[in-house]
Amino acid sequence: MDLTMLSPRLAAVAELASPCTVLADVGTDHARLPVFMIQQGLCSRAYACDVNDGPLQRAASAVAEAGLADVIATVKSDGLHAVSKDYDALVIAGMGGDLIARILYECPPVEGARLILQPMTKPETLRRYLFRHGYSILRERAVSEGEKSYIILSVTRCPTESFCEEDCYLPQNLDCTPDAPAYLEKLLTAHQRRLLGLRRAEVPDFDAMAWEERMYERLHDQWKRYSRRLHDDAE
């Protein structure tokens, strides 16, 4: 699968969404993802959706330039409200985790569709929504682009058997890729900074410190496992 035409983030989204018959790309912007997936034979038809006229016009221009107007429909839609229900893969990428959760809540996706969700912020809010509303996270993929790190969730409509609040802050079934340890290191650094701040506070918050310590330990265990696996695979 040649994914060199896309950024690492969108390339990973395309890989996780493939193959499918009909793709719905919400927040499509320039329609790079549906154009690429059609050109590569990874789907047969697609909806390039956006709520704003500017991105939708850019998407329409890109689709026309690629000669794909007969198989990619541009749709003005607030979330999924105006999207036809015949898609079997749904991508919502490049927006906050709280907004993605709102989109799913206001208009639940097609039953049986594969969901590829890429939150730019607040992945814990998105995971919490998914856990509480009958979804399961099949896998997650960490992707690095320069100094930035992203997390991508592959999700299906199937209730999660059990979860706790801490699980909302941890990658679930993380793919063992070279970018995984780097993503976990950034999470570890953030928890370490918060823990240091709590320890320096004039009035100690012992519950918050205990929480940060547990999260740091769980993330550190993940980081060790993935680093060890990648080291062993390299030998």
pLDDT digit string (tens) for 108-160?
A: 999 999 999 999 999 999 999 999 999 999 999 999 998 899 999 999 999 98
Residue 192 — pLDDT band, cuts 50, 70, 90?
A: very high
- Domain ranges for the chain, please list them: 8-163, 179-234
String of DSSP letters for 29-81: TTTHHHHHHHHTTS-SEEEEEESSHHHHHHHHHHHHHTT-TTTEEEEE-STTT
Is residue 200's pLDDT more than 50? yes
The tally of CA atoms less than 13 A away on the side-chain side of residue 120 is 8
**Which letter does DSSP use for residue 92 in this model?**
E
Task: Please tell me which residue, 144 or 235, carries the higher pLDDT value.
Answer: 144
Residue 3 pLDDT exceeds 80: no
What was the pLDDT predicted at 235? 73
From the list 229, 226, 138, the residue with the least C-alpha distance to 183 is 226
Nearest to 30 by CA among 66, 4, 78, 79: 66
Which one-letter DSSP state was computed for residue 21? Answer: S
In the predicted model, is pLDDT for residue 4 greater than 70? no
Alpha helix segments (H runs only) across the chain: 8-17, 32-39, 53-65, 97-106, 123-132, 179-200, 206-234
Q: What is the pLDDT of residue 233?
A: 83
* DSSP character at residue 165: G
Closest CA to 73 of 114, 112, 3, 22: 22
Q: What is the pLDDT of residue 234?
A: 80
Which of the four pLDDT bands, split at 50, 70 and 90, describes residue 5? Answer: confident
2, pLDDT greater than 60: no
Q: Is residue 1 over pLDDT 50?
A: no
CATH code linked to domain 8-163: 3.40.50.150
Whether the predicted pLDDT of 16 surpasses 80:
yes
Per DSSP, 235 falls in state -
Report pLDDT digits (tens) over 26-54.
999 899 999 999 999 999 999 999 999 99
